[in-house]
Amino acid sequence: MAIQLVTDQLSTGLDDTFRTQLVGDFKVIEKALNDLDTAQDRLNSDKDKINQDLKNIKDDNKIRDANVQAIVNILAKYDVPIQIVNGKVVETEEGE
């Protein structure tokens, strides 16, 4: 959303130098506001991308954990002494 300030419609009854300086100041403020608006849009876009990336990472971690658990379950069926302890795959002693 571009912001446009009313600058050139100031009374000509003002001192011409003062009016010119004031118009210049308004134009600087107008540009700064529009730059901030553009930066906010970019930040919102970056935030959305970061949130999507985080969701993808969480989903990937869930899939990985499920796959590791499936592997451990398959190996346990063949009496391989392995299990998950504190989130890590570890070898166990026979009979544990």
Nearest-angstrom CA–CA distance, 21 and 28: 11
Nearest-angstrom CA–CA distance, 64 and 60: 6
Q: What is the pLDDT of residues 23-46, one digit of tens each?
A: 888 888 989 999 999 999 999 999
Q: Kindly tell me if the per-residue pLDDT of 9 is higher than 80.
A: no
Helix (H) or strand (E) holding 83: strand 82-85
Structure tokens at 51: 């949130």
Nearest-angstrom CA–CA distance, 94 and 96: 6
Q: What is the pLDDT of residues 46-76, one digit of tens each?
A: 999 999 999 999 999 999 989 988 888 888 7
What pLDDT is recorded for position 56?
97
First-to-last C-alpha distance (Å) of the chain? 66
What pLDDT is recorded for position 25?
85
Q: Kindly tell me if the per-residue pLDDT of 95 is higher than 60.
A: no
